C-alpha cells in the first residue's frame, strides 16, 4: 500500500478535531506534520527549547538536522502552528528542556506508536491509504496547489532530484491521471 496525501481540507479538519479530542499530543504531531512537511522521525524528537527561547518567545526558526539525510533544515513556523504550540506547551506544563512529545516511559514518543494512533484515527475518519508519511505528503500536496504549482521549491524542500519524483510523491500524477479518465466519456 502506498500512502497518500489527504486531498480534502474537510478530512484534515475532522482528523485534527478527532485527535485533539482524544489526545492533544497526537493532534499536535498531526498539525506539525501537515504544516512543516517534516518526517515523523524528525518531529517526535523536537525539544521545547528548539522552538522557544529562554524568555518563552518563539525562536525565529526551528533548526534541525534531518535524521534521514543529516542535512540542516530551517523552518519558519506559521501562525497556525505557533498558536497550537503555545497552547499545548502551556496546558501540558512542559519545561524548556522537555521533549515536545514525551513518552510515558521517558524520552520521546516512538514513531510506531505515533503510526498506530494516527492510522487508527484516520481509519475511524474514513481516510484511506494513510500512514505517518501522509503528513509530509499532505504538506507537499497543499503547498503545491496553494503556491500555484511551484514544484521547484517543494522539490528543493524535500531534497528530491527531479520534479517528476516530487509530483509522484505528493500524488499529483495520480490526480492528473484520474482527471484524464473523467474527461473522455464516450
Residue 181's pLDDT band (boundaries 50, 70, 90)? confident
Catalytic residues: 39, 68, 133, 136, 160, 169
Which pLDDT score, from 0 to 100, does residue 183 have? 79
Q: pLDDT (tens digit, 9 = 90+) per residue, 125-171?
A: 999 999 999 999 999 999 999 988 889 989 989 989 999 999 889 98
Handedness of CA 48, 52, 58, 59 (dihedral sign): negative
Q: pLDDT (tens digit, 9 = 90+) per residue, 52-95?
A: 999 999 999 999 999 999 999 999 999 999 999 999 999 999 99
Cα 149 to Cα 152: distance, rounded to the nearest angstrom: 9
User: Counting Cβ atoms within 10 Å, is residue 135 exposed (0-12), middle (13-18) or buried (19+)?
Assistant: buried
Q: pLDDT (tens digit, 9 = 90+) per residue, 4-48?
A: 999 999 999 999 999 999 999 999 999 999 999 999 999 999 999
65 DSSP β-pair partners: 72
Kindly list the domain boundaries of the chain, sorted by start residue: 9-183
Q: DSSP per residue over the chain, as a string?
A: --------HHHHHHHHHHHHHH-HHHHHHHHHHHHH---HHHHTT-BGGGTB-TTSPBPS-EEEE-TTT--EEEE---HHHHHHHHHHHHHTT--TTSBSSB-TTSSB--HHHHHHHHHHHHHHTT--S--THHHHHHHHHHHHHHTTS-HHHHHHHHT-S-HHHHHHHTTHHHHHHHHHHHH---
Cα 89 to Cα 92: distance, rounded to the nearest angstrom: 5
CATH top-level class of 9-183: mainly alpha
Amino acid at each position: 500500500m502506498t500512502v497518500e496525501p489527504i486531498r480534502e481540507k474537510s478530512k484534515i479538519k475532522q482528523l485534527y478535531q478527532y485527535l485533539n479530542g482524544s489526545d492533544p499530543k497526537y493532534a499536535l504531531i498531526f498539525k506539525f506534520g501537515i504544516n512543516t512537511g517534516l518526517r515523523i522521525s524528525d518531529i517526535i524528537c523536537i525539544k521545547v527549547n528548539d522552538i522557544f527561547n529562554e524568555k518563552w518567545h518563539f525562536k525565529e526558526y526551528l533548526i534541525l538536522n534531518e535524521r534521514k539525510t543529516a542535512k540542516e533544515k530551517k523552518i519558519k513556523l506559521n501562525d497556525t502552528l505557533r498558536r497550537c504550540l503555545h497552547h499545548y506547551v502551556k496546558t501540558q506544563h512542559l519545561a524548556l528542556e522537555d521533549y515536545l512529545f514525551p513518552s510515558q516511559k521517558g524520552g520521546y514518543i516512538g514513531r510506531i506508536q505515533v503510526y498506530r494512533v494516527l492510522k487508527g484515527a484516520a481509519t475511524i475518519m474514513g481516510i484511506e491509504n494513510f500512514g505517518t508519511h501522509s503528513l509530509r505528503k499532505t504538506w507537499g500536496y497543499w503547498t503545491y496547489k496553494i503556491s500555484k504549482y511551484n514544484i521547484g521549491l517543494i522539490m528543493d524542500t524535500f531534497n528530491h532530484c527531479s520534479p517528476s519524483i516530487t509530483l509522484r510523491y505528493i500524488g499529483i500524477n495520480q490526480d492528473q491521471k484520474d482527471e484524464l479518465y473523467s474527461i473522455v466519456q464516450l
